[in-house]
Structure 1
Amino acid sequence: MTQHYNLWLVALSLAVGSLASYAMLEVALRVRDASVRGFRYWLIGGSTALGFGVWSTHFIGMLAHSVHLPVGYDFALTLLSIVPAIVAAALTLCLFRRRVDLPGLVLLGGLSIGVGIASMHYVGMAALKMSPSLQYDPMLFALSWLIAIAAATVSLAMGKRLRGSDRPTLAKKLAAALMLGLAIAGMHYTGMAATSFAPGSVSLALGVGLDKTALAVGLGLVTLLVVILLIVIFDARIAAERMVARELKHMALHDQLTGLANRELFHEQLCSALHRTSRQTTLLAVLAINLDGFKEINDLFGHKVGDRLLVDVARRLKRGLRREDLVARLSGDQFIAMAADMASPGQAAFVAQRLLDELNRAEGESGIAVRASIGISLYPQDGNTAGELLKQADFALYRAKADGKGCHHFYNATVEHAVRAQQQRLEELKLAIARDELTVFYQPQVNTSTRAVVGVEALVRWRHPIEGMLAPGAFIPLAEGARMMPLLDAWVIRKACTDAAQWSTLGIPLRIGINVSAQSIDLDLVAVVADALQQSGLPAELLELEITETGLLTAGEKIASKALHQLSGLGVQLSIDDFGTGYGSLTYLSTLPIDAIKIDRQFVQAALQERPAAAIVASLIDLARNLDLRVVSEGVETAAQLDFLLSSGCDVAQGYWFSRPLPLREFGHFIGAESAPEVIL
């Protein structure tokens, strides 16, 4: 029987198949990275798109095919014919979701799609219910299956390459979709060429099944609507995914609090800037910026205010830089900036000073002015790589901190040597604490009337294995800068409590005073003291912790108050050291459980020469007496100073007039504890 084709409908069938294939390939590109729930939606959408596409291509192709024979379609078989195409598409998408590309994956997918297309075609042909039955040319029949499998395999291979590309182009996607569309159409028209209608054939589905024209047009419209809807959904989903990806990338490269670049982005931009600057004659400056006293601000005003200050700092730094410069937040109160195209080191110094001036403006949400220290390194003179410049800027920052803070400092080899020496000393100090290389000296506190020893102050020293005995000034500032004071204070507290407990056992109960750093004033200190008292057996009332007014301010009022009240609850005595030299003295006396004050040596030593100093000492002694507080005067070096204190009503004093700080053995002799040398050595 003669067969004819309407070429317009043939083209339409190819277009519908290719459009459905495009939708399916879009899904295949995304199923690997989709979530479990998302994959289910992509699987349903992609397999449905291809199933309807194959289905519609077949029936539009049947409409294009003219055999001058009226036919109809069995409803059940027609409906069933879509199943192989949907199942094949779903299986292929499952294969594409695998994160490991197994050998033969594309061939297996092509086989699945090809079999699905061909199965759909021949089930659809069976829906004609021809009598006599349709006959198929064996060669063309086999060729139709081969075309479907081969073209589908090529299309999936193209799709697999697209998945490995960062940005697959529309042209490549369309080419892969067209190839799969050719697999669908090629198989159909080859299968139709293999089909023979016997003369006088009758379609048993005619009149009781679906009309040929209505079915083809209806399926074409439904497929078109389904595929267009899916493509719109895909595009919307893709746009949303790209937006999320941009947001995630921004989050990965920016500080969440301030919105500034983070370390990773800064390093990337610095490397690019170095590459550009290497072809020029100008300098590139790297500025390491650290806020001075930020922890104290955080403790005093709370973390919310601290966060607002950091946001303000970010704005101030950006305002102090040019638009082409970059500033990043590394961590906490540490920032880093770079300024390219510097004509000279002087211009870099001008930038640094401008940043310091901007930071010192009390504006923004926090309303707090803040000081900072800045270390500067320059390319190419201080280093050729990002890592070198960052390291040298850190060395320079360390020097700026050591020079008194609130300033900027350029890197040089001398700075690096000094910083490395300090870092080495810091490591030695950590080992010294672990190896018990530290020791405690004791300076007696004497009753001014009876000259009896009534107390003692513990002063830490370092027995350095090479440099000998080191005074506190050689390592305490270093420990404070490295925030090691809690560790150091804990060691001194344990050692001093042990020694004082031994004196008490020998019948010499002396109150022992220990200086405590502001860094240590927290609830951990309470635990350290309680443990030291328990382990040593020292009565709590014989332990006195000395805290400076500046230390109380630095520690933060809420934290200090809670910790000090708990210490007082243990029975520990508390005193304010260097009283009168800080801020808020009277406030502390009225709000904190203070038992004693220590008058600073500068007032004591100036009292005999300066009338205001004498008046201050006398007033402080009267204040302590009226508040029922003990008072200890420091720095007594002459008999005249002692007489002045005695006449002013001061009961206890300490200083070189009585004794210098003594090592444990000598202090034992001083207080008459020689009877148990095995204890006090």
Structure 2
Amino acid sequence: MTTENDVSLSLLMTEVGEAIVYADQQWVVRYCNDVYLNGLGLGREQVIGKTPMDYQPNFSRSIFYALMEQVFRDGKAVAQIGYSTILRRWLLVRAFPLKNGALMLANDASESIVKQHLLAGKAIKDPLTGLPNKLGLTTAVDELLKANKPFTLMILGLDRFRSINDALGHAGGDMALLEISSKFQSATEPDETLYRLSADEFVVLKKQGLSGIEKRFAVFKKVAETPILLHGQSFVLSSSAGISSFPNDGADSELLLKRASLALHKAKIFGRGKLYLYVDGMETESQLQAQTESDLRRAIEDNEFRLVFQPKGDMATGQVIGAEALIRWNHPTRGLLSPISFLGVAEECRLMREIDLFVLREAARVNATWRGFGIECPVSINLSTEMLSDRGLIALVKDIFHDQNVPLNMLEIEIPEGVLMAELESSIEILASLREMGVRISMDDFGTGYSSFSYLARFNIQTLKIDRSFISGLDVSTINIKIVRAIIQMARSLELEVVAEGVETLGELNKLKELHCNTVQGYFYAKPMTSEDFISFFMIKNAVRNRMSPFSI
């Protein structure tokens, strides 16, 4: 028998403009309105008589689950603002206890309401994401330490997050953090709690030891790599992680957090998207890195950097047809340092722009000097991800080379394959503009990332550099021969040039010749050398063609 109250409630649910759902105490949905169904994209028969867990597999991880559960437990009305990963927007959710269940209402939260919500929780939660903050983390860790139960701290540091701030400002960065934090939260397991530590760092507190932590990191890394669409632009980030655990790495919350942070720092320096566990000795490494950062700042002011140049040789003639500029640091006490010794630290402490500017200016200056000797030889340089996503790069390149009276076709920018894929949307316009100006674009480390024909076409690549890992032992590795042959054939079909880097033996050279590779670079042809030595080397190699072996020294 339908009561007057039932009729009134039904009319109310039909006429209001927000999503409404009524579930009994067993979580079975007994009623919902069309707004609720339309938001989920489901039919009434898919919802009525079922629990939200039946038609939304991740419902138990959402804030809406916690809200309803609180109503069932306490019998009091509650309200909460949260981000829906299904609807991809912020919602104001209210839940009310009824005699045999609970009624939940949800509608879009306005920007002002969201801000008020964030401010209200500032004292006990992270003011932006609503996640527990560092204070909440240390409190939870202290409780676990008192219970003497094993647990793991995993600090997740977002990679390339600065590209969003640079493109859209901090407001855009905040919107990205809101989306990422919600996705991370949905990815947590029942024994895990997510915290926001600072800036672009989150912490997963797992109430277990290290077993399976690599798989859990892979899950969060995949979440971080999901494209983020903001203001019509797509951004692809990644995540690195540092791990510490109790009782292995200490019995103090601050110490455990510090050691996980040290492990994250190492992961950031030695390659993004990596997972590092804390090991003894990382404190000493951190002190050395801090000293390196201090020395780098002085090096920039005192102009301690140098470029050396490794020639590229034409396979058919042996002539020099290009050179790659490689940076070195003439450290006053440690001697001449290779990039692996300092670029990771420079990137971590955001000094790459100054180093990139040095490389650009020095490459243009040296090229102008060579032209004074009648040498027309393109110079290849490597730039950081930060610089490649900076729209100011276009004007910088144009002005620097114009000041030296060097044509822009004398510059080639080598970009690692992984960087091209990760920064696809933010880089394509910049690279296209550089190409229109005459700058050549080369894909470095080809074969180690995620290339496809569509990427090659979109970036208008002119040259592929086959990664040295495929060249090493080429004359004895059947697998490497097949890979290199396939790359060369693909490049030829796309009318691209191919450079084999890391050629160190005659056997590797002869095999590349059989495979019809265009150009070689490596110690067998020439080691990196100063600008002055390059002039002499170029004059010798290009003076007489095909005398004896093209690669005779």
Say whether the fold is shared (TM-score over 0.5): yes
Aligned twin of 2:398: 530
- Return the offset for 1:456: 0.8
Secondary structure of the residue aligned to 2:469 is helix
Q: Provide closer, same or farther for how the CA distance between residues 595 and 329 of structure 1 changes in structure 2, counting only shifts above 3 A.
A: same
- Return the offset for 1:642: 3.4
**How far apart, CA to CA, are the structure 1 residues paired with 2:494 and 2:259?**
54
**How far apart, CA to CA, are the structure 2 residues paired with 1:624 and 1:392?**
46
Aligned twin of 1:314: 185
Q: Which amino acid aligns with 1:540?
A: L
Q: Provide closer, same or farther for how the CA distance between residues 248 and 468 of structure 1 changes in structure 2, counting only shifts above 3 A.
A: closer
Q: Which amino acid aligns with 1:309?
A: I
**How far apart, CA to CA, are the structure 1 residues paired with 2:408 and 2:222?**
47
**How far apart, CA to CA, are the structure 1 residues paired with 2:340 and 2:356?**
15
Whether contact under 8 Å (1:296, 1:554) holds in the other structure is no
Deviations along 1:55-113, one digit per CA (max 9) or x if unpaired, are xxxxxxxxxxxxxxxxxxxxxxxxxxxxxxxxxxxxxxxxxxxxxxxxxxxxxxxxxxx
Aligned twin of 1:550: 418
**How far apart, CA to CA, are the structure 1 residues paired with 2:318 and 2:118?**
74
**How far apart, CA to CA, are the structure 2 residues paired with 1:352 and 1:604?**
34
Q: Which amino acid aligns with 2:522?
A: G
- Return the offset for 1:407: 4.3
Aligned twin of 2:133: 262
Aligned twin of 1:289: 155
Whether contact under 8 Å (2:466, 2:499) holds in the other structure is yes
- Return the offset for 1:466: 0.9
Alignment partner of 1:425 out of 286, 292, 306? 292
Aligned twin of 1:614: 481
Whether contact under 8 Å (2:244, 2:277) holds in the other structure is yes
Between structure 1 and structure 2, the one with the greater Rg is 1
**How far apart, CA to CA, are the structure 1 residues paired with 2:524 and 2:372?**
28
- Return the offset for 1:474: 1.7
Aligned twin of 1:660: 527
- Return the offset for 1:315: 4.3
Aligned twin of 1:99: none
Alignment partner of 1:456 is 2:323: yes
**How far apart, CA to CA, are the structure 2 residues paired with 1:607 and 1:627?**
24
Whether contact under 8 Å (1:375, 1:400) holds in the other structure is no
**How far apart, CA to CA, are the structure 1 residues paired with 2:258 and 2:419?**
32
Aligned twin of 1:630: 497
Alignment partner of 1:477 out of 323, 336, 344? 344
Secondary structure of the residue aligned to 1:440 is strand
Q: Which amino acid aligns with 1:287?
A: L
**How far apart, CA to CA, are the structure 1 residues paired with 2:363 and 2:241?**
37
- Return the offset for 1:372: 5.1
Alignment partner of 1:493 out of 360, 363, 366? 360
**How far apart, CA to CA, are the structure 1 residues paired with 2:467 and 2:270?**
25
Alignment partner of 1:570 is 2:437: yes
Q: Provide closer, same or farther for how the CA distance between residues 647 and 435 of structure 1 changes in structure 2, counting only shifts above 3 A.
A: same
Deviations along 1:606-626, one digit per CA (max 9) or x if unpaired, are 442234433443443344344
Q: Provide closer, same or farther for how the CA distance between residues 327 and 616 of structure 1 changes in structure 2, counting only shifts above 3 A.
A: closer
Alignment partner of 1:510 is 2:370: no
Whether contact under 8 Å (2:153, 2:205) holds in the other structure is yes
**How far apart, CA to CA, are the structure 1 residues paired with 2:402 and 2:318?**
32
- Return the offset for 1:516: 2.6
**How far apart, CA to CA, are the structure 2 residues paired with 1:544 and 1:606?**
28
The two structures, once aligned, show a CA RMSD in angstroms of 4.2
Q: Which amino acid aligns with 2:422?
A: T
Q: Pick the structure with more strand per residue.
A: 2
Secondary structure of the residue aligned to 2:392 is helix
Deviations along 1:182-204, one digit per CA (max 9) or x if unpaired, are xxxxxxxxxxxxxxxxxxxxxxx
- Return the offset for 1:514: 0.9
Q: Provide closer, same or farther for how the CA distance between residues 585 and 490 of structure 1 changes in structure 2, counting only shifts above 3 A.
A: farther
**How far apart, CA to CA, are the structure 1 residues paired with 2:194 and 2:383?**
38
**How far apart, CA to CA, are the structure 1 residues paired with 2:503 and 2:204?**
51
Deviations along 1:351-372, one digit per CA (max 9) or x if unpaired, are 9679647746869x99999865
Give the alignment of 1:126-137 within 5 angstroms. Answer: none
Q: Provide closer, same or farther for how the CA distance between residues 661 and 252 of structure 1 changes in structure 2, counting only shifts above 3 A.
A: same
User: How many percent identity over aligned positions?
Assistant: 30
**How far apart, CA to CA, are the structure 2 residues paired with 1:479 and 1:249?**
39
- Return the offset for 1:448: 2.2
- Return the offset for 1:246: 9.6
Aligned twin of 1:52: none
Secondary structure of the residue aligned to 1:329 is strand
Whether contact under 8 Å (2:475, 2:508) holds in the other structure is yes
Give the alignment of 1:205-220 within 5 angstroms. Answer: none
- Return the offset for 1:551: 1.5
Secondary structure of the residue aligned to 2:121 is helix
Aligned twin of 2:426: 559
**How far apart, CA to CA, are the structure 2 residues paired with 1:375 and 1:245?**
35
- Return the offset for 1:445: 1.2
Deviations along 1:295-324, one digit per CA (max 9) or x if unpaired, are 499799x97676423212134448433xxx
**How far apart, CA to CA, are the structure 2 residues paired with 1:358 and 1:624?**
35
Q: Provide closer, same or farther for how the CA distance between residues 395 and 603 of structure 1 changes in structure 2, counting only shifts above 3 A.
A: closer
Secondary structure of the residue aligned to 2:509 is helix
Q: Provide closer, same or farther for how the CA distance between residues 505 and 288 of structure 1 changes in structure 2, counting only shifts above 3 A.
A: same
Deviations along 1:418-444, one digit per CA (max 9) or x if unpaired, are 112122212222322232111111111
Whether contact under 8 Å (1:376, 1:397) holds in the other structure is no
Structure 2: state its 5+ residue gaps.
1-114, 229-235, 541-553
Q: Which amino acid aligns with 1:637?
A: E
Alignment partner of 1:669 is 2:540: no
Whether contact under 8 Å (2:155, 2:260) holds in the other structure is no
Give the alignment of 1:54-203 within 5 angstroms. Answer: none
Structure 1: state its 5+ residue gaps.
1-243, 674-681
Whether contact under 8 Å (2:305, 2:329) holds in the other structure is yes
Alignment partner of 1:440 out of 297, 307, 326? 307
Give the alignment of 1:404-419 within 5 angstroms. Answer: 407=275, 409-410=277-278, 412=280, 414-419=281-286
Q: Provide closer, same or farther for how the CA distance between residues 635 and 257 of structure 1 changes in structure 2, counting only shifts above 3 A.
A: same
Secondary structure of the residue aligned to 2:326 is strand
Whether contact under 8 Å (2:329, 2:338) holds in the other structure is yes
Q: Provide closer, same or farther for how the CA distance between residues 281 and 287 of structure 1 changes in structure 2, counting only shifts above 3 A.
A: closer
Whether contact under 8 Å (2:244, 2:257) holds in the other structure is no
Whether contact under 8 Å (1:577, 1:599) holds in the other structure is yes
Aligned twin of 2:66: none
Whether contact under 8 Å (1:447, 1:453) holds in the other structure is yes
**How far apart, CA to CA, are the structure 1 residues paired with 2:141 and 2:537?**
68
**How far apart, CA to CA, are the structure 2 residues paired with 1:361 and 1:628?**
34
Q: Provide closer, same or farther for how the CA distance between residues 511 and 338 of structure 1 changes in structure 2, counting only shifts above 3 A.
A: closer
Secondary structure of the residue aligned to 1:656 is coil
Q: Provide closer, same or farther for how the CA distance between residues 317 and 546 of structure 1 changes in structure 2, counting only shifts above 3 A.
A: same
Q: Pick the structure with more helix per residue.
A: 1
Deviations along 1:326-372, one digit per CA (max 9) or x if unpaired, are 75313343124668xx9xxxx55469679647746869x99999865
Q: Provide closer, same or farther for how the CA distance between residues 292 and 625 of structure 1 changes in structure 2, counting only shifts above 3 A.
A: same
**How far apart, CA to CA, are the structure 1 residues paired with 2:213 and 2:487?**
45
Whether contact under 8 Å (2:325, 2:380) holds in the other structure is yes
Alignment partner of 2:242 out of 349, 374, 394? 374
- Return the offset for 1:560: 1.3
